[in-house]
Structure 1
Amino acid sequence: MRATSEQRTGVEPLTHAREAVGRDGACVVPGDEVMRSLGVDDQGWAGFAGHWDDLRPDPYAARSGTQRLRRYGRFVVSPEGRREPAPVEEFRQPGDSNRLFLDEGRVFDPLTEELLADPVLDGLLELLGGIAGVLDDPPRWVVHVHPFRVLGSADSRGDATPEGRHQDGVTLVSSLLVGRENATGGTSEVVDADGREILTTTLAEPATLLVGDDRRTWHGVDPIRPVDPRAPARRDVLVVTFMPEEAR
């Protein structure tokens, strides 16, 4: 359950995260801090994580042998955090930001009504909008929402980013760990334009949040593999990006 605005004392939104992204280009926010900011308890988080059991196969990632499931949603969000649904068009990244798909339009199943109605999603968009406001101040943001599940096995790669180190062609990029099971690897790396490391982290605890200024950083995640080879490795994340509406 999402707490009221009076209870959510952490939402002004994570001052140190705003400062770190503006200064360094990226930062990691611990899961317990994100949970407090969202006003979510373990039961509420478990309900949110349950939406990842209703994703659909990603046929584009499958070309490179990656077993990935996902959905996709698109919104226009005001600076006050008001969310308006936008037509779900094909998802397209600039050709110079993602060399694997080279400006290819990709079509994915839309977000479920249950996920759209989950108050955790609204809280997260509010939190991220506050961080994005350090980087730009457009009249409205276009927000792309991508729930992902990546699976790895003893004989297949669990590539979260089969395109390798890349940009998303947006202003703010974020990755929220929803859950992982029987997985080793999955280390996230963020570097600057010259390839110098800004941070390296393995998102291990649920609700841990990685945020970055996509205009001046590149990011990638190494593959996951199962700890117990008799069962698949699983890594569930929510990737949310912000860009000015006029730049869409």
Structure 2
Amino acid sequence: MTQQNELARGAAAQVRETGFVFLEAVPMRALLTQFGGLDDWAAFAASWSTLARDEYMADNGRYRRRAHATYVFEATTIRRAAHQAHYQSRDYNSLNGGVERWFEPIAPAIGDGASMRTILGACQHFFGTLAPNVRAWHVETHQFRIEASRDIAGSPTPEGVHRDGVDYVLVLLIARENIASGTTSIHALDGKALGSFTLIQPLDAALLDDGRVYHGVTAVQALDPREAAYRDVLVVTLRRT
């Protein structure tokens, strides 16, 4: 068994046991690159600077930018679906749920590029080992930029500690610039704290069994209010169909 396979098996075992695993950048890169390259990473990461503002924030917040795309996993295939709305019920998102939210689509060059395809391939394999009898998955990908300024903190999870209403979730850090905090906390369904960690380096990641744990992220503050301050993540969710 290769070191990469041992890593994947160990991470999957932790998700089965606790409902989540935090992987730092080096092991996460090793996991990802079993499924392709990251040759376009510079352009992939730079695309977060082009995101449109999220106009659906019920708290009137102006601190979040995002783009969205949907994919289908079937057997060993991955295909991008037609652009569609993102929907969560208020049971899962008390702030912004209950409405169809039409975000700007992830650019084709990014959504079909090497980095995205590698990330999706890793998700298909990793989460597929946790649910081997599932034949098809509805997959949503979200580019998020959370901004902080002199007067306003940016909240990665303004709805609070929550579940997403899916089966599995990947949260992958893309960039972190001039911010403090942004600590992820994981909680059991009864509210018991299970762990916390902060995504610091690009490719730091959290992999979650959304049916078994809640998650939340503390607000980020600008270290130097004169400079741009933001937290960029890619979120990938899988729901069995």
Tell me if both proteins adopt one fold, taking TM over 0.5 as the criterion.
yes
1:124 maps to 2:140: no
The Cα shift of 1:62 comes to: 6.9
CA RMSD in angstroms comes to 2.1
**1:197 equivalent in structure 2:** 193
- Residue 47 and residue 56 in structure 1: after superposition, are their counterparts in 2 closer, same or farther (change >3 A)? same
Quote the residue 1:36 is aligned against: 30
1:41–1:72 distance in 2 versus 1, CA, 3 Å: closer
Number of aligned residue pairs: give it: 237
Which residue pairs with 1:21 in the alignment? Answer: 15
Q: Secondary structure at the match of 1:95?
A: coil
Distance verdict in 2 for CA 1:145–1:94, change over 3 Å: same
Report the more deviating stretch, 134-143 or 11-20: 11-20
Q: Which 5+ residue runs of structure 1 have no aligned equivalent?
A: 1-7
Q: Tell me which residue corresponds to 1:163.
A: 159
Q: 1: CA distance between counterparts of 2:100 and 2:61? A: 19
Of 99, 103, 109, the residue aligned with 1:108 is: 103
1:133 pairs with one of 100, 123, 128: 128
Check conservation: 1:79, 1:129, Cα contact below 8 A. Answer: no
Q: Is the Cα–Cα contact under 8 Å of residues 37 and 114 in structure 2 kept in the other structure?
A: no
Segment of structure 1 superposing worse, 128-137 or 222-231: 128-137
Q: Which runs of 5+ in 2 are unaligned?
A: none
SS at match of 1:176: strand
Tell me which amino acid in the other structure corresponds to 1:144. E
- Deviation (angstroms), 1:41: 8.1
Residue pairs, 1:1-248, within 5 angstroms: 10=4, 14-39=8-33, 44-61=40-57, 63-80=59-76, 82-136=77-131, 137-245=133-241
TM-score (norm 1): 0.89
> How far apart, in 2, do the equivalents of 1:147 and 1:109 lie?
10
Task: Say which is worse superposed, 228-237 or 17-26, in terms of deviation.
Answer: 228-237
Q: Percent identity?
A: 32
Native 8 Å contact 1:66 1:157 kept in 2: no
Q: Given the superposition, is the C-alpha separation of residues 156 and 70 from structure 1 closer, same or farther in structure 2, using an over 3 Å criterion?
A: same
Residues 100-132 of structure 1: per-residue CA shift (max 9 Å, x gap) = 123221110001011022111111111112221
Letter in 2 for 1:14: A
1 CA distance for matches of 2:158 and 2:62? 7
Note if contact 2:154-2:221 (Cα within 8 Å) is conserved in structure 1.
yes
Deviation for aligned residue 1:47: 2.9
